[in-house]
């Protein structure tokens, strides 16, 4: 079969969408595809370009990846602009001299920024705002500057102003017209937007025409405005609108519009039937669509037609919702009310800075347009009325008036027809979303993955969630906090039952309050509760089958089934003799050795059957288990404190030892980490811990409920200048209150955030004893502290407990499938490829 | 095992009742093959034998997993990535095309017998 050749010129967002859509079709196989891209990188998200200065990298913004294109089988030519089209022979030639024959040519050349021909506009401190390279150049120029000016007060201009602000410049916007965003906003909306933006520190100059740009003092620029005014600046960014990039089409003799733009019909075809034009380079009905969603629709139209399906592009809605410098702005349909017979309803709140205006037909039945500034909460609802041509409610003004009783007549997802477009970027209708939910998607994330809804501009996120939630509710899916299918209770409820009824075993608990046989959620939870309350050895017979693997073997299972061993090194303080023992043990068992983040030493690669021997040697040397395997206190990190440090004001190591030795072994809903710093310099990083203690001149400051990890949270200052006794008392109470009331696997941070009343409530309970339970909390903690045993020490002296540490119950052979290799003079698990190599020598 | 054609699997004695850990698993090496043995005294049957190799984690760890009831099926949760394997037939409950071998197992007095064919 001879494949047809498609050549795509341009790899912006729309060009990428075309290629992505094509890749996902079975007809993809019918074509050879070659792409010319003038930029050095494949398509990226230009809509969110200003976030480049907010910390997003070029990688974050990337849409097309070179590998992805390779996988799709596309021939992507980066950094190689197409320079001519030979329509007669159907050949495209590029800047590098490459030529490519085509059967179908797709022009997705996009647009270029319009730079008004002001004398001096070519100065090297004048920029445009279009590509990542432009941003890099602006960033470089901003380094030594103080002031930046954007010429153009439209949507992109304000985005650019935001970017300048993020670069630390004093930002100005110079606009020729009397208002900002004059395309999308009416006078009232534009006026409020201006006020808000000025309040954010951006100076706005409207009705201002620049006549000359000249260099002054050899490095700065002076903008001379009509009427004698001027403004000195370090750089200028032009963002005064876009012009279709049509030069290539023009030189090939393809029909253009009077003021530029490649003329296309409703099939996105140009005057040459073998050539399509899509996106901002295309002129449909004498209109350039400067938004991404219509460009995507054009791309899909072209793909459908190439695949032999019927499809049409009949224009697109230009409604838009966005945040400009943090100000919410929305514009729907005929925002200016220019159509004949329009009526308007306006709501203005000067106090909070909100402007909303609806344009209806004369009868107030249909919504023709709207402008929202300062609050776009009603945008989704209004847009749906507009797009679906729905009849407005009897009192349409209620759609934009603030709801006094909190019950805004928001358009429920129920009221929308299935044909309603929810996500216009990816053309996803309500019906598509309902279908996805009914097809098995159970969460917002799954629906997004499945339909791509809300993965474009993200403007429909709230509405999408509403539709998904409504549909899930309709299917009877509800959120519940039951521990698991075997216990219709929360962890807290189960804790109380166990405590009040003095339940000691899982069988008893299951028999009294649960159903079935238990699972890996309820069993370890119950084991943890038993340990918090009764503190029996986790290997006591009734508890053996309840423990997660790591608790069972009192070590941390690694990827190849071996374990790591972490002895307790309280406060990070260790004698040379003990260090030597660790070294000897590690050497003897050939264990990979690493210092942990919690000031301990982790020994990796112990085989199951080696654990008891290793621990016998460690306990003989005075080590105890470090509970690295448990949901329990891990470590108390400390700095060296006043003993050695010239800045230390208290003995932080001493306090760390006291705290660690007190709470070691405490089983809790999740792991707990603590730290003690000897002065305010905070070298122990106590504020990133569940319990953080920082020394003051007068005692200790207590911080609670912080954590590092996946979702870091700074701890909150809970109490100040505590003496030793009060400090311990408060920690006792906080911890035990947490152990009693937290949900399964809930860290202290989330627990505290979910407490009604939060930190203040916790203070009331712990400091003021609001619930009258402090004595009990302390007694309970005293009980745990008093019944502490080193689990390993007990285990190695109990042959029954050691039974499970045999690799095989019927032989002393080793697990031969565990294979190590050496790296940096230590062992590590062999990779799969290495194992194959070792097993089958060439 | 491939060299000896076994037409009818024989019952082999692997270990004693006292080698098992109630409500939990242990591992045995039978004819070079690692087999996890689970002893659940309150269930019927009480004994389960299932391949010890976790094909998803690529490690011999199934015998060290936690026994969990999932939608009425007794299963073992792999300790590494937590997939569940049904004790009766080895079916992975998360991955349709993964199934571990299971083996007939029974008590004879204090002996634990297993058929590996």
Chain A residues with CB-CB distance to B65 below 8 A: 549
**If DSSP codes are grouped into helix, strand and coil, which group holds residue A496?**
helix
> In this predicted model, what pLDDT tens digit does every residue of A715-756 receive, in sequence order?
999 999 999 999 999 999 999 999 999 888 889 988 888 787
Chain B residues with CB-CB distance to A605 below 8 A: none
- Residue A231's DSSP bridge partners are A223
> In this predicted model, what pLDDT tens digit does every residue of A112-126 receive, in sequence order?
999 988 999 999 999
> In this predicted model, what pLDDT tens digit does every residue of A660-694 receive, in sequence order?
999 999 999 999 999 999 999 999 999 999 999 99
CB neighbour burial string for A815-838, b if at least 16 within 10 angstroms, e if fewer = beebebeeeeeebbbbeeeebeee
Cα–Cα dist A693/A718, whole Å: 10
Quote the percentage of chain A above a pLDDT of 70: 97
Cα–Cα dist A125/A542, whole Å: 77
Rounded to two decimals, the ipTM of the complex is 0.90
CA torsion sign for A593, A597, A601, A607 is: negative
Chain A residues with CB-CB distance to B69 below 8 A: 486, 516-519
Q: Are A457 and A47 in contact (CB under 8 A)?
A: yes
Tell me the pLDDT band of A404, cut-offs 50, 70 and 90. Answer: low
Are B79 and A523 inside 8 Å of each other by CB? Answer: no
Shortest Cα–Cα distance, B91 to chain A (Å)? 17
**What is residue A411's predicted lDDT score, i.e. its pLDDT?**
59
Q: Are A252 and A268 in contact (CB under 8 A)?
A: no
State CA A146 to chain mean position distance: 32
pTM above 0.90? no
State the average pLDDT over residues A546-574: 94
Tell me the pLDDT band of A151, cut-offs 50, 70 and 90. Answer: very high
State the average pLDDT over residues A197-206: 91
Give the tokens for residue A409: 């007549």
Query: Residue A541: left (phi > 0), alpha (psi -120 to 50), or beta?
Result: alpha
pLDDT at A73 over 90: yes
β-bridge pairing A592-595 and A672-677: unpaired
Cα–Cα dist A115/A127, whole Å: 9
**Average pLDDT taken over every residue of chain A:** 90
> In this predicted model, what pLDDT tens digit does every residue of A267-323 receive, in sequence order?
999 999 999 999 999 999 999 998 888 999 999 999 999 999 888 998 888 888 888
**If DSSP codes are grouped into helix, strand and coil, which group holds residue B8?**
coil
Of A620, A626, A702, A629, the C-alpha closest to A664 is A626
> In this predicted model, what pLDDT tens digit does every residue of A562-613 receive, in sequence order?
999 999 999 999 999 999 999 999 999 999 999 998 999 999 999 999 999 9
State the average pLDDT over residues A505-520: 91
Q: Let me know if A767 is exposed, middle or buried by CB neighbors in 10 A (0-12, 13-18, 19+).
A: middle
**What is residue B9's predicted lDDT score, i.e. its pLDDT?**
64
User: Which of A505, A561, A608 is the best substitution to test chain B (most B C-beta atoms within 10 A)?
Assistant: A561
**If DSSP codes are grouped into helix, strand and coil, which group holds residue B27?**
strand
Q: Are A693 and A650 in contact (CB under 8 A)?
A: no
> Which of A486, A559, A804 shows the shortest C-beta gap to B80?
A559
Give the tokens for residue A118: 């002001």
- Please give the radius of gyration of chain A, using alpha carbons only, rounded to the nearest integer: 34
**What is residue A792's predicted lDDT score, i.e. its pLDDT?**
95
DSSP state string for A565-616:
E-B--GGG---HHHHHHHHHHHHHTT-EEEE-TTS-EEEEEE-GGGHHHHHH
State the average pLDDT over residues A62-90: 93
Are A518 and B27 inside 8 Å of each other by CB? Answer: no
pLDDT at A478 over 60: no
Tell me the pLDDT band of A61, cut-offs 50, 70 and 90. Answer: confident
**What is residue A170's predicted lDDT score, i.e. its pLDDT?**
94
Q: Which residue has the higher pLDDT, A617 or A443?
A: A617
Q: Are A19 and A72 in contact (CB under 8 A)?
A: yes
pLDDT at A409 over 50: no
Are B24 and A806 inside 8 Å of each other by CB? Answer: no
User: Which of A511, A516, A520 is the best substitution to test chain B (most B C-beta atoms within 10 A)?
Assistant: A520
User: Which of A809, A813, A815, A830 is the best substitution to test chain B (most B C-beta atoms within 10 A)?
Assistant: A809
**What is residue A615's predicted lDDT score, i.e. its pLDDT?**
96
DSSP state string for A631-669:
SBEEEEEE--GGGT-SS--S-HHHHHHHHHHHHTT-B-S
Q: Which residue has the higher pLDDT, A472 or A288?
A: A288
Chain B residues with CB-CB distance to A559 below 8 A: 57, 59, 80
Q: Return the DSSP state at A28.
A: G
> Given the structure tokens 């920690």, which residue do they identify?
A731
Name residues whose C-beta falls within 8 Å of residue A720's C-beta, 6 or more positions apart in sequence: A696, A701, A702
**What is residue B4's predicted lDDT score, i.e. its pLDDT?**
43
Tell me the pLDDT band of A458, cut-offs 50, 70 and 90. Answer: low
pLDDT at B3 over 60: no
**What is residue A119's predicted lDDT score, i.e. its pLDDT?**
92
pLDDT at B62 over 70: yes
- Residue A101's DSSP bridge partners are A91
Cα–Cα dist A447/A440, whole Å: 9
Quote the percentage of chain A above a pLDDT of 90: 59
Query: Residue A53: left (phi > 0), alpha (psi -120 to 50), or beta?
Result: alpha
> In this predicted model, what pLDDT tens digit does every residue of A487-499 receive, in sequence order?
988 888 899 889 8
**What is residue A643's predicted lDDT score, i.e. its pLDDT?**
94
Q: Which residue has the higher pLDDT, A760 or A730?
A: A730
DSSP state string for B102-115:
EE-EEEETTEEEEE
Give the tokens for residue A44: 């990226």
User: Which of B42, B58, B81 is the best substitution to test chain A (most A C-beta atoms within 10 A)?
Assistant: B58
Chain A residues within 8 angstroms (CB to CB) of chain B: 485-486, 507, 516-521, 523-524, 541, 544-550, 552-553, 557, 559-561, 608, 803-804, 806-811, 813, 815, 817-818, 832
- The long-range contacts involving B86-93, CB below 8 angstroms and separated by at least 24 positions, are B87/B38, B87/B48, B87/B50, B88/B48, B90/B50, B90/B51, B92/B56
Of A618, A691, A695, the C-alpha closest to A654 is A695
Query: 10 Å Cβ neighbour count for A89?
Result: 9
Name residues whose C-beta falls within 8 Å of residue A712's C-beta, 6 or more positions apart in sequence: A688
């Amino acid at each position: 079969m001879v494949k047809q050749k498609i050549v795509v010129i341009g790899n912006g967002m729309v060009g990428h969408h075309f290629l992505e859509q094509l890749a996902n079709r079975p007809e993809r196989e019918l074509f050879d595809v070659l792409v010319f891209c003038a930029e050095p990188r494949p398509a990226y998200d230009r809509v969110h370009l200003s976030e480049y200065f907010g910390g997003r990298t070029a990688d974050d913004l990337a849409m097309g990846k070179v590998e992805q294109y390779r996988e799709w089988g596309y021939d992507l030519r980066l950094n190689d602009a197409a320079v001519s089209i030979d329509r007669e022979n159907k050949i495209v030639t590029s800047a590098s001299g490459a030529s490519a024959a085509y059967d179908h040519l797709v022009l997705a050349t996009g647009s270029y920024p319009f730079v008004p021909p002001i004398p001096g506009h070519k100065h090297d401190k004048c920029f445009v705002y279009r590509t990542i390279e432009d941003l890099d150049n602006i960033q470089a120029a901003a380094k030594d500057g103080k002031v930046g000016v954007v010429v153009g007060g439209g949507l992109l201009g304000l985005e650019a102003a935001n970017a300048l602000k993020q670069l630390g410049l004093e930002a100005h916007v110079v606009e020729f017209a009397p208002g900002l965003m004059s395309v999308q906003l009416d006078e009232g909306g534009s006026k409020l937007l201006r006020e808000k933006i000025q309040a954010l520190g951006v100076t706005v100059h409207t009705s201002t025409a620049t006549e000359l740009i000249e260099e002054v003092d050899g490095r700065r620029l002076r903008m001379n405005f009509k009427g004698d005014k001027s403004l000195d600046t370090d750089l200028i960014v032009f963002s005064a609108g876009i012009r279709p990039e049509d030069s290539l089409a023009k030189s090939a003799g393809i029909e253009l519009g009077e003021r530029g733009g490649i003329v296309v019909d409703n099939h996105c075809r140009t005057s040459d039937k073998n050539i399509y034009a899509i996106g901002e380079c295309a002129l449909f009905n004498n209109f350039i669509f400067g938004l991404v969603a219509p460009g995507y629709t054009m791309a899909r139209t072209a793909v459908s037609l190439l695949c032999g399906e019927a499809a049409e592009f009949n224009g697109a809605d230009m409604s838009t919702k966005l945040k400009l410098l943090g100000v919410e702005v929305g514009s729907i349909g005929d925002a200016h009310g220019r159509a004949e017979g329009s009526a308007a309803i306006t709501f203005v709140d000067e106090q909070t800075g909100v402007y909303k205006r609806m344009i209806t037909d004369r009868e107030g039945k249909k919504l023709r347009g709207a402008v929202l500034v300062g609050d776009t909460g009603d945008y989704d609802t209004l847009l749906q009325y507009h797009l679906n041509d729905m009849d407005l409610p009897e009192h349409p003004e209620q759609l934009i008036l603030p709801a006094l009783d909190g019950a805004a007549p928001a358009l429920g997802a129920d009221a929308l027809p299935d044909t309603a477009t929810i996500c216009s970027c990816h053309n996803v209708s309500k019906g598509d979303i309902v279908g996805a939910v009914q097809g098995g998607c159970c969460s917002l994330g799954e629906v997004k993955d499945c339909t791509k809804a809300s993965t474009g501009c993200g403007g429909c996120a709230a509405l999408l969630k509403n539709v998904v939630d409504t549909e899930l509710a309709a299917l009877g899916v509800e959120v519940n906090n039951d521990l698991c299918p075997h216990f219709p209770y929360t962890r807290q409820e189960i804790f109380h039952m166990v405590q009040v009824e003095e339940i000691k075993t899982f069988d008893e608990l299951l028999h009294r309050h649960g159903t079935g046989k238990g699972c890996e959620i309820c069993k370890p939870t119950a084991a943890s509760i038993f340990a918090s309350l009764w503190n029996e050895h986790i290997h006591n017979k009734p508890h053996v089958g309840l423990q997660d693997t790591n608790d069972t073997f009192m070590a941390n299972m690694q990827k190849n089934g071996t374990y790591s061993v972490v002895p307790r090194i309280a406060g990070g303080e260790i004698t040379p003799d003990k260090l030597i023992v660790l070294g000897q043990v590690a050497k003897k068992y050939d264990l990979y050795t690493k210092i942990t983040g919690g000031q301990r030493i982790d020994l990796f690669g112990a085989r199951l059957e080696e654990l008891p021997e290793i621990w016998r040697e460690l306990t003989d040397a005075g080590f105890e288990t470090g509970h690295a395997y448990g949901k329990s206190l891990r470590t108390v990190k400390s700095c060296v404190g006043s003993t050695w440090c010239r800045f230390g004001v208290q003995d932080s190591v001493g306090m760390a030892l006291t705290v660690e030795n007190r709470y070691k072994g405490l089983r809790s809903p999740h792991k707990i980490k603590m730290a003690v710093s000897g002065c305010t310099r905070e070298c122990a990083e106590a504020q990133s811990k569940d319990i953080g203690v920082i020394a003051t001149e007068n005692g200790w400051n207590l911080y609670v409920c912080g954590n590092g990890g996946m979702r870091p949270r700074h701890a909150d200052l809970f109490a100040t200048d505590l003496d030793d006794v009060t400090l311990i008392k408060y920690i006792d109470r906080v911890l035990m209150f947490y152990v009693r009331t937290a949900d399964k696997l809930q860290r202290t941070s989330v627990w505290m955030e979910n407490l009604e009343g939060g930190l203040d409530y916790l203070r009331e309970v712990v400091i003021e004893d609001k619930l009258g339970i402090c004595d009990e909390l302390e007694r309970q903690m005293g009980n745990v502290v008093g019944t502490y045993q080193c689990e390993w020490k007990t285990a190695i002296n109990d042959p029954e407990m050691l039974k499970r540490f045999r690799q095989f119950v019927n032989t002393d052979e080793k697990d031969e499938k565990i294979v190590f290799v050496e790296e940096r003079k230590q062992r590590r698990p062999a990779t799969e490829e290495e194992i194959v190599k070792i097993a089958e020598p060439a | 095992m491939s060299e000896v054609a076994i037409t009818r699997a024989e019952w082999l004695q692997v270990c004693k009742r006292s080698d098992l850990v109630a409500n939990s698993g242990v591992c045995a090496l039978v004819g070079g093959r690692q087999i996890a043995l689970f002893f659940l005294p309150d269930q019927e049957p009480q004994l389960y034998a299932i391949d010890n190799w976790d094909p998803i984690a690529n490690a011999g760890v199934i015998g060290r997993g936690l026994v969990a009831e999932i939608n009425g099926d007794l299963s073992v949760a792999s300790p590494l990535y937590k997939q569940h394997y049904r004790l009766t037939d080895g079916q992975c409950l998360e991955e349709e095309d993964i199934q571990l071998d299971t083996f007939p197992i029974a008590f004879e007095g204090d002996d634990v017998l297993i058929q590996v064919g």
